[in-house]
Amino acid sequence: MSPELLEIITPPLAILTFGGLFLIGMKIRYSHIQRTRLGGAAHQDVERLTAAVDTLQDQLRVMRDEILHLNERVEFTERLLERPRAAATDSDALPGQRD
């Protein structure tokens, strides 16, 4: 082959080669996007994580309610313990309790 012929063929051949590689890459990317949108592994992972977060939020809500209930019980017990025993009368005594 003559050098003049290589100078003429090389630029279009390089453009076609890189263009083809670009198009193949775009096709691979597009198919990945479609697979992800149509319920691929990434979509299933998002749904699984969303369900786990919802479960944790429900458990946290239950624990908050239990802590509030326990706090009320502690405050009631503290009020009972703060009452002076000397001021307690027979009517304040618990049933079955004797002085």
For 2-50, the DSSP string reads -HHHHHHHHHHHHHHHHHHHHHHHHHHHHHHHHHHHTT-HHHHHHHHHH
> Average of pLDDT values for 7-29?
85
d(CA 45, CA 43): 5
Q: What angle do CA 68, 77, 87 make, to 5 degrees?
A: 150
Reply yes or no on whether the pLDDT at 90 is more than 60. Answer: no
pLDDT confidence tier of residue 89, bands split at 50, 70 and 90: low
Q: Is the pLDDT of residue 67 over 80?
A: yes
For residue 24, the model assigns a pLDDT of 86
For residue 99, what is the enclosing H or E element? Answer: none
CB atoms within 10 A of CB 43: 13
Question: How far is it, in rounded angstroms, from Cα 70 to Cα 63?
Answer: 10
pTM of the model: 0.42
At residue 81, does pLDDT exceed 70? Answer: yes
